Amino acid sequence: MVPLTDHSGLPLAQRTVLERELAPLTLLQDVVRWGFAHVPPRDVAAVVVQDEFTHDVVVPWEDERYLVFDTT
């Protein structure tokens, strides 16, 4: 499982549900499929290039919150 770093102060119950939902996502392909399985679909909002090997993938989540996946 990839660790979840919460910078928004989610309530424990909501964080636990999110951790459980994100636990199986180990590849960028998993993240994209997970996003498009929602109604409405959650498409990748941005890709931030950190260096030649590392990119942050930003996906809308709830309300005005976003999830950022660190990919290598």
pLDDT tens, per residue, the chain with 72 residues: 678 899 999 999 999 999 999 999 988 899 999 999 999 999 999 999 999 999 999 999 988 899 999 987
| pLDDT on residue 1 | 65
DSSP codes, 23-71 = TT--SHHHHHHHHHTSSS-----EEEE-SSS-EEEEEE-STT-EEEEEE
Whether 31 is covered by a domain: the verdict is yes
pLDDT of residue 14: 93
Number of domains in the chain: 1
14 lies in some domain? no
Q: For position 41, what pLDDT does the model report?
A: 95
**58 is in which domain, residue-wise?**
26-71
Task: For residue 38, tell me if it sits in a domain.
Answer: yes
3 belongs to a structural domain: no
C-alpha count within 13 angstroms, C-beta hemisphere, residue 53: 1
